Amino acid sequence: MTLKFIVDVGVGKKVETWLAINGYDVSTVRAINPGLPDLIILQIAANEGRVVITMDKDFGEMVYHAKLPHAGVLLLRLEDASGREKAMVIAKIMEDYADKLEGRFSVYRSGRLRIRRV
């Protein structure tokens, strides 16, 4: 089964495009409704079995503290990165860790990916 994602608006089109070109099932908040609240994004992702790719730390709060259901969250801490740089990071993460993202809370920062089971 192919890993499925929902990409938050702040992540950008280059990551959305890279995932689609590389055969992943991608839904985008940009296409659904760019103003969608994070809680609704997380609910859609859980209902559809999609890993959320985001740059928004609020997802950690929802998953860890509120213990809301999810299918996985990949938090990119790449505040000053270009779209191209983000896409390169996603390519590396998919190459090395795609089989470990589902159902987990993962944080990419400073060249490292931390994967936690929640």
What's the pLDDT tens digit per position in 50-86? 999 999 999 999 998 899 999 999 999 998 999 999 9
Rounded distance between C-alpha atoms, residue 106 and residue 118, angstroms: 10
How many angstroms separate the CA atoms of 79 and 45, rounded?
23
Angle at 112 between CA 88 and CA 18, to 5 degrees: 20
pLDDT > 70 fraction of the chain, expressed in percent and rounded: 99
16 sits in which H/E element: helix 13-21
CA distance 2 to 10: 24
Could you tell me which residues are beta bridge partners of residue 21?
A: none
Q: For position 79, what pLDDT does the model report?
A: 87
Pairing of strands 112-117, 104-109: antiparallel
- pTM for this model (two decimals): 0.96
Tens digits of per-residue pLDDT, 28-48? Answer: 999 999 999 999 999 999 999
Contacts of 80 (CB under 8 A, 6+ apart): none
